Amino acid sequence: MTYEEICAEIGRREFRPVYVLMGEEPYFIDQLTEQLLATVLKDEERDFNQLVLYGAETDAVQVIQAARRYPMMAEHQLVVVREAQQMRDIETLAAYVKAPLASTVLVLDYKYKTLDRRKKLASLVEKNGLLFESKKVPEYKMPAFITSFLARRSLGIDAKAAQMLSDCVGNDLTRLDKEISKLEIIMAQTGLKRLTPELVEQHVGVSKEYNNFELLKAVAAKDALKAHRIIQYFHKNPKDNPIQATLSVLFNYFSNLLICYYTKDRSEAGLMAALGLRGNFQLRDYTVGLRSYSALKVFRLISEIRLADAQSKGVGNASMGSYDILRELLYKILH
CATH code for position 111: 3.40.50.300
What's the rounded Cα separation, in Å, for the pair 163 and 235? 19
Q: What is the pTM of this model?
A: 0.72
Please tell me the total count of domains within the chain: 3
User: What was the pLDDT predicted at 169?
Assistant: 84
| 166 lies in the same domain as 125 | no
Asked whether residue 178 falls in the same domain as residue 245, the answer is: no
* Domain end residue (candidates: 108, 133, 158): 133
326 pLDDT higher than 90: yes
Contact, 89 vs 59, CB < 8 A?
yes
33, 145: one domain: no
* pLDDT confidence of residue 24: 95
pLDDT at 77: 97
Length of the chain measured in residues = 335
- Predicted confidence (pLDDT) at residue 289 exceeds the cutoff of 80: yes
Residues 58, 91: one domain?
yes
Same domain for 274 and 200: no
Same domain membership, residue 175 and residue 72: no
Question: Same domain, yes or no, for 316 and 223?
Answer: yes
Question: Given pLDDT bands bounded at 50, 70 and 90, which one contains residue 318?
Answer: low
Residues 30 and 118 in one domain: yes
Per-residue pLDDT of 10-57, as tens digits, reads: 999 999 999 999 999 999 999 999 999 999 999 999 999 999 999 999
The CATH number assigned to the domain holding 149 equals 1.10.8.60
Query: What does the pLDDT look like over 122-174, one tens digit per residue?
Result: 999 999 999 999 999 988 788 889 998 999 888 999 888 888 888 888 888 99
The pLDDT assigned to 278 comes to 65
pLDDT at 210: 85
**Model pLDDT for residues 57-116, shown as the tens digit of each residue:** 999 999 999 999 999 999 999 999 999 999 999 999 999 999 999 999 999 999 999 999
Q: Residue 235 contacts by C-beta under 8 Å, 6 or more apart in sequence? A: 322, 323, 326
Are 29 and 122 contained in the same domain? yes
What are the backbone dihedrals phi and psi of residue 162, each rounded to the nearest 5 degrees, phi first?
A: -65, -40
Last residue of a domain, one of 155, 182, 204: 204
Question: In this model, does residue 265 exceed pLDDT 70?
Answer: yes
Instruction: Tell me the average pLDDT of the chain.
Output: 91
Task: Tell whether 145 and 190 lie within a shared domain.
Answer: yes
Q: What is the 3-state secondary structure (H, E, C) of 101-159?
A: CCCEEEEEEEECCCCCCCCHHHHHHHHHCEEEECCCCCHHHHHHHHHHHHHCCCCEECH
Residue 115's domain comprises: 3-133
Which pLDDT belongs to residue 207? 78
Higher pLDDT, 205 or 214: 214
User: Which residue type occupies 25?
Assistant: E
Final residue belonging to a domain, choices 104, 133, 162: 133
Rounded to 10 degrees, the C-alpha dihedral 87/92/98/103 comes to: -50
The predicted structure's pLDDT at residue 254: 94
- The pLDDT value recorded for residue 279 is 64
pLDDT for 298 equals 94
Q: What is the CATH number of the domain that holds 328?
A: 1.20.272.10
Residues 323 and 219 in one domain: yes
The answer, yes or no, to whether residue 259 has pLDDT greater than 70, is yes
With bands split at pLDDT 50, 70 and 90, how would you rate the model's confidence at 268?
Answer: confident
More confident residue, 190 or 111: 111
- Short-list 314, 334, 335, CA closest to 325: 314
Residue 253 region, left (φ>0) first, then alpha (ψ -120 to 50), else beta? alpha
- Do 115 and 22 reside in the same domain of the chain? yes
The per-residue pLDDT for 315 is 85
